[in-house]
Amino acid sequence: MNEQTMRKSRWQTGMFLLIIIVLSYLSSAITAFNFVQGLATIPKALGWIFSNLMVTQESLEKLPKILEKLAETIFMSIAATTLAAVVSLFLGVMGSKTTKVNNFLSVFARFIASVSRNIPVVAWSLVLLISFGQNSVTGFLALFVGTVGFLTRAFIESIDEASQSSVEALTATGATYFQIVSKAVIPQALPQMISWVLFMVETNIRNATLVGILTGTGIGYTFDMYYKMLNYNAVALVTLCIVITVIVVDLISNHIRKVIL
Amino acid sequence: MEAAYIKRKADGRIHIKSGSKGDQAVRWTIITLAVLTVVAFLFFNYAGLELGPAIKETAYNVKVMFLEPALNHFDLGEAIYQVGVTLGLAFLATIIGAIIAFFLALMAAANLAPVWVSRTVRVFVAIIRAVPTVLWVLIFAIAAGLGSEAAVLGMLFHSIAYLVKAFSEAFEEVDKGIFEALQSTGANWWHIIRSGVLPSTFTYLLSWVFLRFEINFGVAVAMGAAAGAGGIGFELFMASGFYFDLREVGFITYAILIIAVLLEVLSTRLKKRYLPAASN
């Protein structure tokens, strides 16, 4: 590395940092974010969390009610993920380069995936809430749509990655399209797909909280209710329940992943 | 001998499928998920649901949303400004998160820190990750008041957790030879980080940060709607929850969609260039 390249790379680093600083300044200006105030709130917030977010005897009485809503949320997430996985499997097989039926269907599958992934889950839940009302189905559908988008993209990638050579081998034996897909592509990509599905179950349990706050279903609604009633002990209990659930699901899916991959 | 590697059924036929532990785990996972899904539908609360009219109405609503978008309660300039606010929130949370995550990742990487430090950081990160972002924002909103501070701080947690995982994995892949070479010249820990680890992972780290920025944009929209953090998400919430103005919802959705697709295209390009191996 001679002096000139060194000087050039130093100049590039400088420019890069300058751009980042300018963008940060613009962002904090447009959002009225105050760095100093932001830093100052951290100890204050942590102090508040430790003094107010405590599970007390009184809030424990609400536990059965909370657990019931928590179960609803977990079931909602699992059902949304599983059904989305079935739909995504079809879209994924159609969308992947190695197994596509024709170009039109491939582009169509990718288009559906992209649209349903990039329209925020917030928009879906708000639109569905208008006509489906305040019940589990609304939350289920909102999660379902977003999950289809994400899983289709993931499945397309897993299928593309897994199948090249075995597809060629089966084509050489004269296997039909359905035989190739069911005997070569899916068995090969399946462990990877299951891994994505498990990841999505965990993500959806967390997303279900957000969707629940917006659509008034499941544990998100419970949280929102206690939050607005300023019953912070119950809020703490709800948060604790969610944390435990997510960690348990995470541990289970990590274990399964270790066995199958 | 034969029995050791050829498994036969009771009637003497040979098992064609290998039936390894992995296959069984896959099968049981699928069965469990399927059963839980069926149970879920029996368990759901169907209060006030009329499926037929609801589907018809939603189809009509979606049609109005996407085919007749319009702005009624604010103008285009305001819409662009609100998108800017959301982008700003996402950017701040990403940048501050990246800086903090960098130092935490140094502590979490197994080849740079003692085992007990890296394990502690990892457990800490796992707990942070388990609390949904919206709860972090709402909890901070009580302490800091509704506003950008609460939103950025709340979004910070998941950004840090995500980036610590990505960064520490990148650090762990740094060639051992680099450490040895630098150590033999008498470099201390910080020298090794600055001239060994950072240069060889920098582009990698950068694309992870951009990937997180893309995610944070979506999160910022959601926080605006669910936690009153402002920006285009809040307008979306107002348009649908207060004004019931589907045309405006459509317009805002298009605005979000355009930004999201732009970010996705950019990040796929970055990913292809700098992250050939990373699949998730």
CATH number of the domain that residue A108 is part of: 1.10.3720.10
Number of domains, chain A: 1
Q: What are the φ and ψ backbone dihedral angles of B8, each rounded to 5 degrees?
A: -115, 150
Evaluate whether residue B49 is within a structural domain. no
Q: Tell me which of A33, A198, A250 to substitute to probe the interface with B (most B C-beta atoms closer than 10 Å).
A: A33
**DSSP state letter for B174:** S
Q: A77-81, B13-17, B169-173, B266-270: which has the highest mean pLDDT?
A: A77-81
Q: Name the strand (E) or helix (H) holding A81.
A: helix A63-95
Closest CB to A79: pick one of B29, B40, B81.
Answer: B40
Per the structure, the complete domain to which residue B171 belongs is given by 63-274
Number of domains, chain B: 2
Given a cut of 50, whether residue B280 has pLDDT beyond it is no
Given a cut of 90, whether residue B79 has pLDDT beyond it is no
Write out chain A residues lying below 8 Å of B154, CB-based: none
| Residue A192, C-beta contacts closer than 8 angstroms, at least 6 positions apart | A158, A161, A162, A261
- pLDDT score recorded for residue B278: 47
- pLDDT score recorded for residue B279: 40
- pLDDT score recorded for residue B274: 67
Given a cut of 80, whether residue A236 has pLDDT beyond it is yes
Per the structure, the complete domain to which residue A167 belongs is given by 62-260
- pLDDT score recorded for residue B211: 86
Pair B100, B166 in one domain: yes
- Are residues A114 and B43, on separate chains, in Cβ contact within 8 Å? no
How many pairs of residues across A and B have Cβ atoms under 8 Å apart? 233
Per-residue pLDDT, averaged over A148-173, amounts to: 85
Per-residue pLDDT, averaged over B35-59, amounts to: 81
Evaluate whether residue B198 is within a structural domain. yes
Q: A82 falls in which pLDDT band (50, 70, 90)?
A: very high
Q: Which 169-198 residues of chain B touch chain A by CB within 8 A?
A: none
In sequence order, the β-bridge partners of residue B14 are B8
Pair B31, B68 in one domain: no
Closest CB to A118: pick one of B49, B87, B260.
Answer: B260
Per-residue pLDDT, averaged over B232-242, amounts to: 85
Q: A231-240, B92-101, B189-198: which has the highest mean pLDDT?
A: B92-101
Q: Looking at A75-79, B9-13, B45-49, B181-185, which range is the least confident one?
A: B45-49
Evaluate whether residue A185 is within a structural domain. yes
Q: B275 falls in which pLDDT band (50, 70, 90)?
A: low
Residue of chain A whose Cα is closest to the Cα of B258: A118
Pair B86, B215 in one domain: yes
- Are residues A31 and B92, on separate chains, in Cβ contact within 8 Å? yes
Q: Which 239-278 residues of chain B touch chain A by CB within 8 A?
A: 240-241, 244, 246, 249, 252-253, 256-257, 260-261, 264
- Are residues A72 and B134, on separate chains, in Cβ contact within 8 Å? no
Pair B32, B97 in one domain: no
Pair B16, B85 in one domain: no
Evaluate whether residue B173 is within a structural domain. yes
Pair B116, B239 in one domain: yes
Pair B108, B196 in one domain: yes
- Are residues A33 and B149, on separate chains, in Cβ contact within 8 Å? yes
- Whether the complex's predicted ipTM surpasses the cut of 0.95: no
Write out chain B residues lying below 8 Å of A88, CB-based: none
Sign of CA dihedral B57, B60, B66, B72: negative
Evaluate whether residue B48 is within a structural domain. no
- pTM given for the model: 0.82
Write out chain A residues lying below 8 Å of B255, CB-based: none
- pLDDT score recorded for residue B1: 45
- pLDDT score recorded for residue B16: 67
Tokens in use for B183?
């150590």
Task: Outline where chain B has alpha helix (H).
Answer: 2-5, 21-43, 51-67, 76-108, 115-130, 133-144, 148-172, 176-184, 189-192, 198-227, 232-241, 246-274
Evaluate whether residue A51 is within a structural domain. no
Q: Looking at A47-56, B51-60, B218-227, which range is the least confident one?
A: A47-56
Evaluate whether residue B137 is within a structural domain. yes
Q: What is the CATH number of the domain that holds B185?
A: 1.10.3720.10
Evaluate whether residue B96 is within a structural domain. yes
Q: Looking at A39-53, A132-146, B199-213, which range is the least confident one?
A: A39-53
From B176's Cα to the closest Cα of chain A, the distance in A is: 22
